[in-house]
C-alpha cells in the first residue's frame, strides 16, 4: 500500500476535524504514520518499541466510533501518540534505557499514559531516551544512537530525544515527554517541534519523583494547538499524586493576540554564552512579537551558569546520584560511561559540607530573580539552547562544548533550561525560532509567571502565526 508521506505530518487538530467530517479515516492516518516510521527508522532510531498491529486494530475501532457505531469519539480518538519509554505501561518493558533493566516489566501505568489511552489516543510506539534520562543527548547501550532528522550528525537532544525525533520525522502525530533539566525543551529546540514544561503539579507523575519539584511530565507536538490539545488531556489532579493541582486548568482552543503584552527579552539569561545563529534567531522572534503589537524590552538577568549548575548538581546528587549508584553497585559493567559520570559528579557535589542548604539558597535567589522580572513583564523570552544542537555520537564525558571561543566547564551549560526547573512553578514552552547553517532548528523559551500557562500558549501561538515554521524534516 502506498501512503503519501505528507499525511504523516498532518496536525492533530486538522486530523480530528477530518475524522469528524469523514474525509479521513484514523486507519489511513495510522497507515501513513507507520509507513513513514518504517521508511526512516533505520536512519533516525527514535522508537524503542513498536506496536503497529495493535495500533491499526485500535484505529479501526476509532473509525467505527466516527461512523456512529458504539461510543462517541473521545478527545484524542484515533490519533497516534508516541510515549516516552520512561513512562511505564503495565505489562510492558520498563528498561529506562538501561541494559541493567533490559528485561524489567512494569506493573503500573503512568498517569499520563492512562489519560492518553482513556482519551482515545493510540500508543503505536514508545520513544528512546538516554540511560536513566540523565543526559542531554539520546544514546544508550540498549538502543544505540538516536539522530536528528534534520541533520543525522546531530542529536535530537535529550532526554525526550526519541519523542522530538519521531515528531520531526513524521513517525507520530503527538508525543509525551518528561523534563528534569530541560528534557522536553532541549529536544523541541533541536528538532523544530513544540515542547511544554508545565508548572510543577499541573500534570500528575509517579511516586517518588512526583515529589521532586524539578520533575515535570508534559506534551510535545509539531504545532502550538496540538501541544495544547494534549496538555488538556494529561493535566489535572490524580488520586495517586498528592501534589497534582486542582482544579484542572483547561487551555482554550484559540488564543487571543499579543498586542500590549510586555515581553522581556534576554539572549544571555545572565552570563550564558550564546551561538551567533541562535542569538540572531532569538532576536528575529522578538522583532516578530514587536511587529505583532507586543512591547518587547531587552533586560538584564542576575543569574549565573555556575550557580545554576551547582544548585542542580546538589539537587540531582541527592536524588538521581544515589539511585544510579545503587544500580551501578550491582550492574556497573552494564551502565553507560555518561550515567556513571553523572552519578559520580552529582553525588560528589551533594556530599560537600553544607551543600543542601547552599542549593536551597541558590534556588531561592534564582526564583526571586525570575519572579521579580515577571512582575514587570508578562513573559520572558530567551533561547532554549545556547548552541543549535549537540553532536549525535558524543556522550560529552570528555569533550568540551565551545561557544564563541569559550570552552564550557560542563556540556550542560550549553542549555538555558535548568533555570526553569529550579523556578519550577513557571510554565515554559519551547517553540522553533529558525534554523542554523547546519540545517538544524533552533528554539526559544517562552517563560510565564507562576501557573500562568495560558499566557505562555498565547505568545507561542502568536509566534507561530507570524513566523510559521517548517514541519517536514527531509531525510
Give catalytic residue positions.
84, 159, 183
Please tell me what DSSP assigns to residue 23.
S
The rounded distance, in Å, linking the Cα atoms of 455 and 259 is 12
Taking each helix axis from N to C end, the angle separating 337-350 and 305-331, rounded to the nearest 10 degrees, works out to 120
Q: Are 142 and 97 in contact (CB under 8 A)?
A: yes
Q: Which residues pair with 296 in a beta bridge?
A: 263
Q: Which residues pair with 221 in a beta bridge?
A: 194
- Geometric angle at alpha carbon 79, from 75 and 83, rounded to 5°: 100
Q: Are 181 and 418 in contact (CB under 8 A)?
A: yes
> Which residue from 471, 428, 462 is spatially nearest to 254, judged by alpha carbons?
462
Within a 13 Å sphere around the CA of 389, how many CA atoms are in the beta-carbon half? 36
Please tell me what DSSP assigns to residue 385.
B
Query: How far apart, in Å, do the first and last CA atoms of the chain sit?
Result: 21
The rounded distance, in Å, linking the Cα atoms of 235 and 429 is 15
- The grid cell for 473 is 524534516
Taking each helix axis from N to C end, the angle separating 26-44 and 161-169, rounded to the nearest 10 degrees, works out to 120
Please tell me what DSSP assigns to residue 408.
P
How many other CB atoms sit within 10 Å of the CB of residue 418?
27
Q: Which residue has the cell 538516536?
A: 146
The rounded distance, in Å, linking the Cα atoms of 176 and 461 is 20
Q: Are 194 and 222 in contact (CB under 8 A)?
A: yes
Q: How far, in Å, are 32, 280, 462 from residue 286 at the CA level?
A: 36, 10, 11
Alpha helical stretches, state H, 332-354: 337-350
- The grid cell for 194 is 513544540
The rounded distance, in Å, linking the Cα atoms of 65 and 143 is 36
Cis peptide before 467 (omega within 30 of 0): no
> Which residue from 319, 352, 324 is spatially nearest to 338, judged by alpha carbons?
324
* DSSP labels, 446-471: EEESTT-HHHHHHHHHHHHHHS----
Amino acid at each position: 500500500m502506498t501512503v503519501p508521506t505528507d499525511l504523516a505530518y498532518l496536525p492533530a487538530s486538522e486530523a480530528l476535524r477530518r475524522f469528524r467530517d469523514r474525509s479521513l479515516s484514523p486507519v489511513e492516518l495510522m497507515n501513513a504514520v507507520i509507513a513513514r516510521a518504517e521508511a526512516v527508522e533505520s536512519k533516525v532510531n527514535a522508537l524503542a518499541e513498536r506496536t503497529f498491529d495493535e495500533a491499526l486494530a485500535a484505529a479501526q475501532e476509532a473509525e467505527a466510533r466516527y461512523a456512529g457505531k458504539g461510543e462517541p469519539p473521545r478527545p484524542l480518538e484515533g490519533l497516534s501518540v508516541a510515549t516516552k519509554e520512561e513512562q511505564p505501561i503495565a505489562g510492558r518493558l520498563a528498561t529506562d534505557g538501561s541494559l541493567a533493566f533490559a528485561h524489567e516489566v512494569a506493573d503500573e501505568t503512568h498517569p499520563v499514559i492512562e489519560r492518553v489511552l482513556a482519551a482515545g489516543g493510540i500508543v503505536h510506539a514508545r520513544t528512546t531516551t538516554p540511560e536513566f534520562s540523565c543526559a542531554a543527548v539520546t544514546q544508550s547501550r540498549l538502543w544505540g544512537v538516536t539522530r536528528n532528522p534534520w541533520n543525522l550528525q546531530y542529536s535530537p537532544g535529550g532526554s525526550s530525544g526519541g519523542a522530538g525525533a519521531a515528531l520531526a520525522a513524521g513517525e507520530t502525530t503527538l508525543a509525551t515527554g518528561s523534563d528534569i533539566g530541560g528534557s522536553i525543551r532541549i529536544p523541541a529546540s533541536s528538532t523544530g517541534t513544540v515542547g511544554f514544561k508545565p508548572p510543577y503539579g499541573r500534570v500528575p507523575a509517579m511516586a517518588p519523583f512526583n515529589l521532586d519539584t524539578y520533575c515535570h511530565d508534559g506534551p510535545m507536538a509539531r504545532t502550538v494547538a496540538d501541544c495544547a490539545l494534549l496538555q488538556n488531556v494529561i493535566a489535572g489532579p490524580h488520586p495517586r499524586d498528592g501534589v497534582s493541582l486542582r482544579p484542572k486548568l483547561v487551555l482554550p482552543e484559540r488564543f487571543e493576540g499579543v498586542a500590549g503584552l510586555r515581553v522581556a527579552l534576554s539572549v544571555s539569561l545572565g552570563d550564558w554564552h550564546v551561538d551567533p545563529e541562535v542569538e540572531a534567531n532569538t532576536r528575529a522572534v522578538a522583532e516578530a512579537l514587536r511587529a505583532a503589537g507586543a512591547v518587547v524590552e531587552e533586560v538584564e538577568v542576575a543569574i549565573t551558569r555556575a550557580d545554576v549548575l551547582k544548585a542542580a548538581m546538589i539537587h540531582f546528587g541527592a536524588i538521581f546520584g544515589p539511585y544510579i549508584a545503587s544500580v551501578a553497585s550491582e550492574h556497573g559493567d552494564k551502565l553507560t560511561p555518561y550515567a556513571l559520570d553523572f552519578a559520580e559528579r552529582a553525588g560528589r557535589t551533594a556530599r560537600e559540607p553544607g551543600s543542601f542548604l547552599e542549593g536551597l539558597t541558590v534556588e531561592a535567589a534564582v526564583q526571586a530573580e525570575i519572579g521579580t522580572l515577571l512582575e514587570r513583564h508578562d513573559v520572558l523570552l530567551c533561547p532554549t539552547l545556547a548552541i543549535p544542537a549537540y553532536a549525535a555520537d558524543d556522550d560529552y564525558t570528555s569533550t568540551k562544548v565551545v561557544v564563541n571561543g569559550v570552552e564550557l566547564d560542563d556540556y550542560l551549560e550549553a542549555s538555558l533550561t535548568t533555570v526553569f526547573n529550579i523556578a519550577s512553578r513557571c510554565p515554559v514552552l519551547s517553540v522553533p525560532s529558525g534554523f542554523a547553517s547546519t540545517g538544524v532548528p533552533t528554539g526559544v523559551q517562552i517563560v510565564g509567571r507562576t501557573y500562568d500557562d495560558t499566557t505562555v500558549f498565547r505568545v507561542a501561538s502568536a509566534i507561530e502565526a507570524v513566523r510559521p515554521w517548517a514541519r517536514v524534516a527531509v531525510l
